[in-house]
Structure 1
């Protein structure tokens, strides 16, 4: 089992200044905050990092800032995915992966391939990648579910396909994957609201959005879940439950950035087509943070 991806990984935001340039100081502070408070690994340039609105140069700068702040302390996962298989392979080959432990690759969006198309897409990526791959299934964003049988087929066929970040908010599919997965293959929750239940059922933990704002409590909840201590773990789950709902109420990462603003860790600036959280949502988030 690839134990470096067991526990709590966090999908880091990319903080922006009011002029929409990257706030590297805030990014560095968020990384250090997570290292100090129990997060197990960091995920760079995922959906929460607004990777689709970053230029190639900005991505390089974000990666460099995180590597510098991390100082080799936590494993790093880099998002490289899309719906142009050849372009993804090109990006893998042209990216310096020497400090990266795995690639997180989202299922092709917009194109709506068949299950065979999804399999062939990841087969090509697996054959091109010099490092481990975590599949990413998020049908709410891609409009196409990676069915459990496709994930399991990839897990069985390719040694460097080591895990799936499953974010379909579908407990039945989670359980099918946990029941039938090969030894050592990790089922990682991509749903903050289901993360504890998935972990208790035999999952490997979570790649979380809210975890980066409350790393101490969230990572402890997952550790208790991995130990099978449901009673103590659910105390923390209930403590965090409201804010998990809030951050996904409008869009991600506007919600989590609003939490960070309330924690004085970064501004709530996002790039279009996203807009900051509404006044009503911000007030709920501020109230939660102030009373936490």
Structure 2
């Protein structure tokens, strides 16, 4: 079989050739930008079609996280870097403990910034990395691979399932081994790329959206949001400190000085400050009441 025939026969849609873009290299900058922008819309359509599967994944993952489990991400290349990004952002946004958001990427930390050739082809390393992360029955593994055939990711899934973890799989191709191997398969069918095989384009966009949806929905269900306010954010810089103050003022109707006083009394915890102001209690009492409801501000306030 020739190289050309092997490429032609590849059943993965993400490896296909889109006949609409055979003259891509002749387009003007304006036409190029329009082409790429239009094609990205398919990422949104793919995510929209996957809403039921994404919802099922959230429902399945929630009980394990409520019991103290972790989110474990596994991927290679672009998919792996998107997992690292999603895991990293959970701490400043929701005060999610960093040790409960573990990102595994083929090639290790070096692969975050540069390509590590061949790392994704090693299934045994995927297994080893999952074992090294001490993945167990209380954890949730989110495996991401555009192709759905990446050996590193399949190894990670196999080991996670053997350890009793819940497994979620995101793939941009139907009928792939990854979707068959996980408990919660999520198909993001984005089709061929404008630049053939470059899944950092709309396949990656769909993965980014899906990861955002899964983790954000879980954080809302876990009480990290009050209304649509990120009341568990970690104010680690001047911008976030100002945001925390605005959140307390918005949620309670308090003036700036009262909100700032409550925030300081709460050690910078937005949720605690809101409960303090709304129930006219001290920080210790606010913390006690929040603890009784698992940290859900709305339930805490409605129970009183």
- Fold conserved between structures, TM > 0.5: no
TM-score w.r.t. structure 1 length?
0.32
Determine which structure has more spread, i.e. the larger CA radius of gyration.
2
TM-score w.r.t. structure 2 length?
0.31
Structure with a larger share of its residues in strand: 1
Structure with a larger share of its residues in helix: 2
